[in-house]
Amino acid sequence: MSHLSNPLATAEQLHQRALVNSLPAEIQDSIRYYTARLTQAAGILLRLPQDITAQANILLYRYWLVDELMQHEFSDLSAATIYMTAKVSASPRSLRSITNVYAYLLSPSSTISVSNNTTSNPESYYVSESTYVINRNRYLHIEGQLLNALGFNVHVALPHPLAITYLQALDVFSASHSKKNPNRGKEVGRRAIEYLNTALLSPQMLYLTHQPCSLATAAIYLAARDIGIKLPDVEWWEVFDCEREELGFLAVGMRSVDGLARKEQERWGVTGGMISRSDVRRELGKIGNRMGNGRSGFGEAQDEEAEMARLMDEKVGTD
Give the pLDDT confidence of 93-132 residue by residue, as tens digits.
999 999 999 999 998 888 777 555 556 778 888 999 999 9
Is 66 within 8 Å of 150 (Cβ atoms)?
Answer: yes
Band of pLDDT at residue 310, cut at 50, 70 and 90: low
DSSP 3: G
- pLDDT one-digit tens code per residue, 129-151: 999 999 999 999 999 999 999 99
The CB-side HSE value for 168 (13 A sphere, CA atoms) comes to 6
Which is higher by pLDDT, 228 or 318? Answer: 228
Q: Highest mean pLDDT: which of 14-18, 91-95, 271-275?
A: 91-95
The CB-side HSE value for 265 (13 A sphere, CA atoms) comes to 10
Q: Please report the pLDDT score of residue 180 as a whole number.
A: 61
pLDDT at 300 over 60: no
> Which residue segments constitute the domains of the chain, with CATH numbers given?
24-155 (1.10.472.10), 160-258 (1.10.472)
Q: Please report the pLDDT score of residue 286 as a whole number.
A: 84
Residue ranges of E strands in the chain: none
Band of pLDDT at residue 156, cut at 50, 70 and 90: very high
pLDDT at 244 over 70: yes
Do you know the residue count of the chain? 319
Is 148 within 8 Å of 59 (Cβ atoms)?
Answer: no
Chain-wide mean pLDDT for the chain? Answer: 86
Q: Please report the pLDDT score of residue 108 as a whole number.
A: 84
Q: Give the predicted TM-score (pTM) of the model.
A: 0.85
| Angle separating helix axes 11-21 and 50-66, nearest 10 degrees | 70
Band of pLDDT at residue 17, cut at 50, 70 and 90: confident
Q: Please report the pLDDT score of residue 32 as a whole number.
A: 93
Is 285 within 8 Å of 296 (Cβ atoms)?
Answer: yes
Q: State the DSSP H helix or E strand holding residue 160, giving kind and residue range, or none if neither.
A: helix 160-169
Cβ neighbours for 170, distance < 8 A, ≥ 6 positions apart:
220, 231, 232, 236
Q: Please report the pLDDT score of residue 291 as a whole number.
A: 64
| Percent of the chain residues past pLDDT 90, beyond the cut | 59
Q: Please report the pLDDT score of residue 306 as a whole number.
A: 54
Helix (H, G, I), strand (E, B) or coil at 294: coil
Band of pLDDT at residue 177, cut at 50, 70 and 90: low
Band of pLDDT at residue 268, cut at 50, 70 and 90: confident
